[in-house]
Amino acid sequence: MPSQDTLTIRDNRTDKDYEIEIVDGAIRALDLRKVKVAEDDFGLMSYDPAFTNTASCRSEITMIDGERGILRHRGYPIEQLATQSSYLEVAYLLIYGHLPNEKQLAEWEENITLHTMLHENTKKFMEGFHHDAHPMGVLVSTVAALSTFYPDAKDIHNEESRKLQTYRLIAKMPTIAAYAYRHRRGLPYVYPDNGLSYTGNLMSMLFKMQRDKFVANPVLEKALDILFILHADHEQNCSANAMRSIGSSHADPYVATAGAAAALYGPLHGGANEAVLKMLREIGSKKNVPKFIKDVKEGKGRLMGFGHRVYKNYDPRAKIIRDTAEQVFEVTGRNPLIDLAMEVERIALEDDYFVKRKLYPNVDFYSGIIYEAMGFHSRAFTVLFAIPRTSGWIAQWQEMLTEEGQRIARPRQVYLGSEPRNYVPLGKRG
């Protein structure tokens, strides 16, 4: 009688049975390799091109229950963090695994604040970008360039060095983002103001004009902080996977973060928030929603900001964003796109196509509408995703590096190409 925590596999090609151990609800893919038709057979592999059912790591950082629409960081529900915590505290939680006490939080905030300045050469480097360069392209390249300023970052197995790079990365992302924005607008760069909060400082670097000091509206500053909490981490998504994969070759954290940010840039991932606004503008008014939904169902484009690989229920972050939007609108005035978005949501959620496929609004559906009301250009939206996600990337990278038995990420393939054939000289190819 096989033991309970095992899986018995019968290979019908050979009539052989194999017993495979089940640990934490998973089998080890490598155990499949003992399933062979002959002694010299390579052994069975699993084919999972988009990792739809493959756990690439064991993690203690973030838990998502997609069926029930639950998101927790280190065990804490996202709803509690969003209403009671701050972005920097959540960043600490993600990276160190526990909430900081008062002293730890004060030191953490102080250390991040100390590193907000960019090397002056960064400005020269940024000046080389075309005047209408997309801020995400600028961000990806500039974060990668930080690797050249901090060669000490290569010491990835040194905990103190990792700590320093963590401060630098979290501190400098807003500064890079703000410089990219000011460059595009042809405005002089604004240096960080260490007397301000993380989000207050970002807003100052973006929006400060002639006045000596920029004071953000506290409601907007807080709303941005909540949005940052909601974007801080989301377990093994495309960019976290990129961060871990690049980091697994022991590349330094700056180039790994640049790679993760590049993954985020795509419209199926963090680029969706920008795409949602474009889509809503194209829909134009409520009367056009049914036609738009019909087109989506006929395969003419996707409803951006809807659907998720893991959530088969309402994304809990989208719910919090919708509530936060109302607070923001009390200050900024109502962004008319919110009513259009709610109409799109209403019609989609009544439609069999979306119901059957369990497609609900995700974090990107409402975030752009708030950002726009707060004065951000749609091209800056994905940057506003990348800034807070940096702490999640670092937490994932660090966990990967310190995991016992960590090795370079290297998937297998199912080779379906040509059998061996002889090289044909150029002149004889016809």
| Of 266, 262, 254, residue with least CA distance to 122 | 254
CA angle 176/181/185 to nearest 5° reads 145
Q: Does the protein bind ligand CMC through residue 316 (CB under 6 A)?
A: no
Residue span 350-389 as binding mask against ligand CMC, x where in contact by CB under 6 A, dash where not: -------x-x--xxx-------------------------
User: Is 308 labeled as catalytic in the residue annotation?
Assistant: yes
**Distance of closest approach, residue 240 Cβ to ligand CMC, in angstroms:** 10
Residue 188 burial (C-beta neighbours within 10 Å; 0-12, 13-18, 19+): exposed
DSSP states along 51-115: -TT------SSEEEETTTTEEEETTEEHHHHHHH--HHHHHHHHHHSS---HHHHHHHHHHHHHT
Centre a 10 Å sphere on the Cβ of residue 396 and count the other Cβ atoms it contains.
31
Of these, 174, 247, 259, 305, which contacts ligand CMC (CB under 6 A)?
305
Under the binding rule (CB under 6 A), the answer on residue 312 touching ligand CMC is: no
Instruction: Give 104: exposed, middle or buried? Use CB within 10 Å, 0-12, 13-18, 19+.
Output: middle
DSSP single-letter state for residue 361: B
For ligand CMC, the closer CB: 52 or 413: 52
> Site size for ligand CMC, by CB under 6 A?
20
- Residue 277 in 3-state DSSP? helix
CB 87 within 8 A of CB 232: yes
Six token digits for residue 24: 């934490």
**Distance in angstroms (rounded) separating the CA atoms of residues 175 and 189:** 9
- Phi then psi for residue 145, to 5 deg, are -65, -25
H or E stretch at 164: helix 159-185
- Enumerate residues 237-256 that contact ligand CMC by CB under 6 A: 237
Determine if 169 is a binding residue for ligand CMC (CB under 6 A). no
Q: Which amino acid type is present at position 192?
A: P
Interface pick for ligand CMC out of 177, 224, 304, 400 (rule CB under 6 A):
304
Question: What minimum distance in Å lies between the beta carbon of 53 and ligand CMC?
Answer: 12
Of 193, 269, 351, 377, which one is the catalytic site residue?
269
The residue among 166, 169, 163 whose CA lies nearest residue 139 is: 169
131 as an active site residue: the answer is no
Q: Is residue 364 flagged as an active site residue? A: yes
CA geometry: angle at 394 spanning 133 and 308, to 5°?
Answer: 70
* Least distance between ligand CMC and beta carbon 54 (Å): 14
Nearer CB in complex with ligand CMC: 225/364: 364
Q: Does 306 bind ligand CMC (CB under 6 A)?
A: yes
Nearer to ligand CMC, 240 or 246 (CB): 240
307 contributes a contact to ligand CMC by CB under 6 A: yes
Residue nearest to ligand CMC (CB): 307
The residue (of 145 and 394) whose beta carbon lies closer to ligand CMC is 394
Looking at the Cβ atoms of 33 and 357, the one nearer to ligand CMC is 357
The distance of closest approach from Cβ of residue 269 to ligand CMC in the complex, given in angstroms and rounded to an integer, is 4
Nearer to ligand CMC, 302 or 379 (CB): 302
List interacting residues with ligand CMC (CB under 6 A).
234, 237, 268-270, 272, 296, 302-309, 357, 359, 362-364
| Active site members | 269, 308, 364
